[in-house]
């Protein structure tokens, strides 16, 4: 391993350690999740080795990039729901999970990122929920389908967390102004793609 590769791997290790510290700081209330996300994104942009001319990442760096789903810190859906001034954030998450669009989005995400996702169990769960009126909860979804895009924990400081691609979809469902911002950003990106020669 070259000095350069060792340096980059040390930076990756530092970044992962920083993510753990950020999660604890949010959990203890020292910073908000939004502040942690912003700091994490800035740090990750600085470590994006694809922007370094002539750099070939080490096998560890390649593996971490390929499994980026494991590098990204999970976002607290419970905290997002609390931003809505809800006294029952779990109920808001369950309400979001009642939507067919939500379930199809979660299924699609899991099929892309999770090789252990149980699609047959997912179909059976959806059928059961529709025919029996069973409430679909994050725990039921995770335990039945072996989903990894969401996590739940009980007790003090517990709640539901999710990969940013899932948590931000929940935020968009909960806050129309956020959805509007997403649509505007998407349209801007599409416009820029068309404008480029």
**Using one digit for the tens of pLDDT, what is the confidence trace for 173-188?**
999 998 998 889 889 8
pLDDT of residue 6: 60
Q: What share of the chain is helix, strand, coil (3-state, %, to 5)?
A: 70, 5, 25
**Cβ pair 43, 36 in contact under 8 A:** no
If asked whether residues 130 and 152 sit together in one domain, one would say: yes
If asked whether residues 62 and 92 sit together in one domain, one would say: no
Of 99, 103, 75, 34, the closest CA to residue 160 belongs to: 75
If asked whether residues 118 and 52 sit together in one domain, one would say: no
If asked whether residues 2 and 65 sit together in one domain, one would say: yes
If asked whether residues 93 and 38 sit together in one domain, one would say: no
**Cβ pair 73, 45 in contact under 8 A:** no
Does residue 11 carry a pLDDT above 90?
no
If asked whether residues 83 and 68 sit together in one domain, one would say: no
* Full residue range of the structural domain in which residue 45 is found: 1-73
In this predicted model, what pLDDT tens digit does every residue of 145-162 receive, in sequence order?
999 999 998 888 789 999
Of 181 and 17, which is predicted with more confidence?
Answer: 181
Structure tokens that stand for 167 in this block: 């948590």
If asked whether residues 100 and 195 sit together in one domain, one would say: yes
Does residue 49 carry a pLDDT above 60?
no
Of 191 and 162, which is predicted with more confidence?
Answer: 162
If asked whether residues 109 and 48 sit together in one domain, one would say: no
**What is the count of structural domains for the chain?**
2
- Is pTM, for the whole model, over 0.85? no
Reduced to 3 states (helix: H, G, I; strand: E, B; else coil), residue 150 is: strand
Of 51, 49, 135, the closest CA to residue 91 belongs to: 135
The arithmetic mean of pLDDT across residues 19-41, rounded, is 78
């Amino acid at each position: 391993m070259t000095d350069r590769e060792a340096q980059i791997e040390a930076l990756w290790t530092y970044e992962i350690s920083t993510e753990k510290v950020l999660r604890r700081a949010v959990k203890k209330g020292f910073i908000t999740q939004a502040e942690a996300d912003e700091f994490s994104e800035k740090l990750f942009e600085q470590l994006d080795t694809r922007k370094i001319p002539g750099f070939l990442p080490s096998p560890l760096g390649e593996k971490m990039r390929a499994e980026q789903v494991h590098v990204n810190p999970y976002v607290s859906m419970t905290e997002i729901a609390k931003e809505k001034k809800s006294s029952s954030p779990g109920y808001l998450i369950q309400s979001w999970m009642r939507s067919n669009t939500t379930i199809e989005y979660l299924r699609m995400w899991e099929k892309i990122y999770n090789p252990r996702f149980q699609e047959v169990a997912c179909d059976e769960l959806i059928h059961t929920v529709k025919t029996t009126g069973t409430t679909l909860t994050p725990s039921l979804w995770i335990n039945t389908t072996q989903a990894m895009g969401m996590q739940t924990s009980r007790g003090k400081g517990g709640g539901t967390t999710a990969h940013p691609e899932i948590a931000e979809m929940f935020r968009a469902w909960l806050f129309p102004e956020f959805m509007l911002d997403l649509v505007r950003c998407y349209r801007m990106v599409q416009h820029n793609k068309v404008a480029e020669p």
